[in-house]
Amino acid sequence: MSTTASFLDPAEVTRRMQTLNRVMTTKAAIAQTPKELVWTLNKAKLYRYTPVVPSEKRHPVPLLLVFALMNRPYILDLRPGHSFVEFMVKQGYDVYLLDWGVPGIEDKNLKFDDYTLDYLPRAIRKVKSLSGSNEFSLLGWCIGAILTTIYAALRPDDGLRNLLLLTAPLDFSKRDSLTFARWTDEKYFDVDKVLDAFGNMPGEIIDYGAKALKPIENYITNYCKLWDNLDNPLVVQSWHSMNTWVTDNIPMAGGAFRQLIVDFYRNDRLMKGELMFRGERVDLKRLRANLLTVVAQGDHITPPCQSEKIVSRVSSPDAEVYHVPGGHIGIMAGSSAHKRTWPYIDNWLGARSD
Amino acid sequence: MDEDHAESKTFDAFEKFREMRDAYLDATSKTMIDAVNSDAYAQASGAMLESYVTASAPFRAALEKSMIQALEQLSLPSRQEVAALAERFTNVEMRLDDIDGRLDEIVKLCTSLKILANEKQTTDDFTPRKKAKAASVPAKSKGKPSPTSAPSKQAVRKGRR
């Protein structure tokens, strides 16, 4: 923390301004864990991380990570020494990451149906083929948790052994607790008109929506924290990499965005058992895989009430809810993630991956 | 007293300012969170987006129309045509991926068949004479081959003819 003297020293002030300029105008080195591109389909890419543990000591069941559609997945591999992927690879998992890519205007009709029934099963087939295992684990975060849950319910016999859900927005029944539900209510928000204009939902609008939930924290306090700690390289490095991720916005395919608003936020079709994908009803009772749902207690994007009910709706004999202090992103990428969330996930998954 | 401790005791005029600032931001934050979580805010933000979309619609339509005309004049495909082509590419990619998946299965099946065949070969190498002897003995003694016994070389040749 800077002192009065440092504020009055011109050299110190210049140095601080240079640091500030650097972190605000450049991108941090992110996603450094060695990986190989093993499969592609349209914009989607499947990466396999290079194992660092000998094969005989590795868990035989591979792990596939599925992140949200409207953000970059490298939050799971933020920076060396602070990467969930790096941690899991070191714990002996065969880790794969599905990157949905950036949808173009030609993808504006892509829906959850397509991601769940066209992309995900094919990526899983590749994971199984490369790993040589008929069983696999899925980890879905945010919208990725919706996709993996639906997949697990629609294809329960595909070999899914473990399903991990992080801050999963699955239950939309408590509309009063959901700010997004209020904003996207049909009285105020004409989703068809917006998508007719843009095609895909622009990343900037989605980003504004996420930040506007806590405007002071995101637009002021965040920068004050950086200013106060400009002489602390660790804080600056951490802020820089997180800022790189936060400002790297991508649009969401129009069809999927419309579905998110209409089927999920407005009508809660998944929990009501009314969600239909290509004529097939998504019945959560068909989900039998071992289930761990991680809930962030301070999550303002996906409040805990959205993720807790799932365990009582599935048929999994082994289902658990784990509450972690922290926010939507902080529980996995925050400074205490490596002490709390990651080891818990490793212990839970490790016991079920051999 | 060490140097660090001495420094921490140094008067910092900004410390009080920071405390005040943080307290103010905390209080404002709570107010703002309540404000954005209201129907009034939802209505206002919805109206803003709506007015932008409505106001920009004629310009977008005019731009699109003139762009299509210009591209047509230049014998170039429009955005919609390129998008349709991209969709078809994705379909082709999916079919290729399915073929790739089936090839994987065939290779896997062939490998397991090869392993089985090798195993059978190894077992046959260890037990052929005993089996042949056992099969030929009753055929010789009774004058006609049993249905389970291996056909003689002559019978095979006859069959081929």
Q: Give me the active site residues of A, please.
A: 142, 299, 328
Mean pLDDT by 10 residues, chain A (354 residues): 65 88 91 95 96 93 96 94 95 97 94 96 95 95 97 96 97 91 93 94 94 94 92 92 93 97 96 94 96 95 94 94 94 92 96 92
ipTM of the prediction: 0.83
3-state secondary structure of A239: helix
The pLDDT score that the predictor gives to residue B139 is 45
From the list B21, B39, B50, the residue facing A190 with the nearest CB is B50
Instruction: Determine the distance in angstroms separating the CA of B64 from the nearest CA of chain A, rounded to an integer.
Output: 12
Round to whole Å and give the CA distance between A40 and A91. Answer: 27
- A58: DSSP letter: S
Round to whole Å and give the CA distance between B51 and B30. Answer: 29
Q: What is the pTM of this model?
A: 0.86
The pLDDT score that the predictor gives to residue B16 is 85
The pLDDT score that the predictor gives to residue A6 is 64
A262 in B contact zone (CB under 8 Å): no
**How far lies A179's CA from each of A210, A254, B98, in Å?**
10, 21, 42
- A136: DSSP letter: E
Round to whole Å and give the CA distance between A286 and A284. Answer: 5
The pLDDT score that the predictor gives to residue A2 is 54
pLDDT truncated to tens, each residue of chain B (161 aa)? 444 454 455 667 778 888 999 999 999 999 999 999 999 999 999 999 999 999 998 898 899 899 999 999 999 999 889 999 999 999 999 999 999 999 988 998 998 899 888 888 888 777 655 555 555 555 444 444 444 444 444 444 444 43
The verdict on a CB contact (< 8 Å) between A179 and B60 is: no
Q: Which residues of B touch A108 (CB under 8 A)?
A: 83
- A291: DSSP letter: E
Round to whole Å and give the CA distance between A136 and A131. Answer: 9
Judge contact between A74 and A232, C-beta under 8 A: no
The pLDDT score that the predictor gives to residue B3 is 46
Handedness of CA B85, B89, B90, B91 (dihedral sign): positive
